[in-house]
Structure 1
């Protein structure tokens, strides 16, 4: 890992309470990290964010789960609303805005679906870049601030409808999957004729990818289509094995039913707008 060394920084400040370091236990997905708070200048995209408080991690549970990634991760950068920030710490993007480093409370993501390309994707702070999308954005209002929570009107596939009376979804750049309720995912498995060879591991014949039906996510009155090549991927270590990106979501929050992760964002360039509390989608190039 690339590691932060406060002893080498002239702008480092300790964060203490009654003379003691402040330790935090943070949960993220299946990981629990333990660390203590520090403050320093953080450089993101050549922007120097002054007096940014962050956690220096000293222990990670289930660290072996990072093995699923082809490169090591050195840290996590949260981009949700500040009202769910652990310990009331001001998030990086909020400080970027407060310090006038960008003019707009908007950030956006382009994720390249071509795994052989040099550019894996781009995070744009302060707006969007039409180089990476085509057409206009369709904007969906945020229904509850915290996570980027919006409404799906319906999910359609051939003759079947899921989420028939609308449901709540979180758009999450930190998820590599599209997840939903157990019953809905079971219906998808049946309709797509996927082979559930072990828990949440859905295999499909790679030759069937282009024969699989289109799945339509209806949001804001517009259909956002995913085809077989969007929701079936080749195993990174076994090119002959194809798996689905649909998994069951065991929600601790009964209101949130689905999570739209990277497979959806890869297909649709995504803009997160804190000024107007909305999420915009446009077809990615």
Structure 2
């Protein structure tokens, strides 16, 4: 049986042990599940300490703490009675959430917990317990102008055919390291007919923006005329520049997934929450911090996934799949 779970900007609400309600990032770019970033973890009658320490480094933060075995309950049948989870002693970069539900490839947990090889993910355990038929998670969520809008769903174990409008196309994972360690794909990025990047990168629900290798992003800037707003950390264009902003095409195995101009902008209603200038248009495309050629040259984050249904398949060698939705070409962010 596939199980559908409502999502708030790819955040999940669950219970740890028999009393602790937590608000967690759902992250395909990592695989450890942990709590304690905001609400300190307290052992209950269901907690079994392992005596091992855990440390995970992320692109925008880290956590260090103790690994325990405990019950994880996301509601309905999504109950794992013995999930290995981290309990943070110290963390940085996770304001406003309690931690992460890591649903990336299991191999990403290697070396994160003392005296352990890899740690089964929540997807692994839901499949092993027979709660879901396959180790697959699919994601749908709509563009939103509200920071706490219930705007999507996770489906554990399969897909929701009613959430997309066209063909669901499956792509193999890249063999290029280090993107091959993640849900990584090979893709080209084309703007105004010119290829600005042709490389490997990852698909990541835990990243907000679409990130490009620095040299590719310089080409993007040259076309858009965007400049940085240092107070916000995002690049901006004027309304006149936005009126001529070209579509950014993401091409996988010859299939084009277009990021329209509207898909490249931060929703206008969210600009004040970011401390931005309401007279400017803020873009959701930015630079990754290194030039292309590293094998990790782009990240397709949340704003890309708002426009396409996505599937993360851990069977065999792994795969990802995308399909258009009613929001692929919609104008919703003005």
Taking structure 1 as the reference length, what is the TM-score of the superposition?
0.86
**C-alpha distance in 1, partners of 2:225/2:75?**
44
**C-alpha distance in 2, partners of 1:30/1:227?**
27
The 1:254–1:283 alpha-carbon spacing in structure 2 relative to 1, beyond 3 Å, is same
* Matching residue of 1:262: 302
* Matching residue of 2:157: 126
Report how far residue 108 of structure 1 moved. Answer: 0.8
Gaps in structure 2 of 5+ consecutive residues: 1-37, 327-334
- DSSP 3-state at the match of 1:256: coil
The 1:45–1:126 alpha-carbon spacing in structure 2 relative to 1, beyond 3 Å, is farther
User: 1:216-235 counterparts in 2 under 5 A?
Assistant: 216-233=249-266, 234=268, 235=271
The 1:183–1:270 alpha-carbon spacing in structure 2 relative to 1, beyond 3 Å, is same
Gaps in structure 1 of 5+ consecutive residues: 17-21, 67-71
**C-alpha distance in 2, partners of 1:41/1:205?**
50
Report how far residue 208 of structure 1 moved. Answer: 4.4
* Matching residue of 1:182: 214
* Matching residue of 2:120: 90
1:32 to 35, 59, 62: 62
Matched, 1:246 2:281: no
CA RMSD of aligned residues (A): 2.2
2:245 to 189, 212, 216: 212
Matched, 1:280 2:330: no
Matched, 1:60 2:97: no
The 1:3–1:240 alpha-carbon spacing in structure 2 relative to 1, beyond 3 Å, is farther
Q: Is the 8 A contact 1:209 1:229 kept in 2?
A: no
The Cα offsets for residues 61-117 of structure 1, whole Å up to 9 and x where unpaired, read as: 356xx3xxxxx2111111111112123221111111111110012111112202248
* Matching residue of 1:151: 186
Report how far residue 5 of structure 1 moved. Answer: 2.7
More strand by share: 1
Q: Is the 8 A contact 2:196 2:220 kept in 1?
A: no
Q: Is the 8 A contact 1:140 1:151 kept in 2?
A: no
* Matching residue of 2:129: 99
* Matching residue of 1:6: 43
Report how far residue 162 of structure 1 moved. Answer: 1.4
1:171 to 192, 203, 211: 203
Taking structure 2 as the reference length, what is the TM-score of the superposition?
0.74
The Cα offsets for residues 127-150 of structure 1, whole Å up to 9 and x where unpaired, read as: 111232111111111124531011
More helix by share: 1
**C-alpha distance in 1, partners of 2:172/2:272?**
35
4+ runs of 1 displaced by more than 6 Å?
none
How many residues of Structure 1 are paired with residues of Structure 2 in the alignment? 268
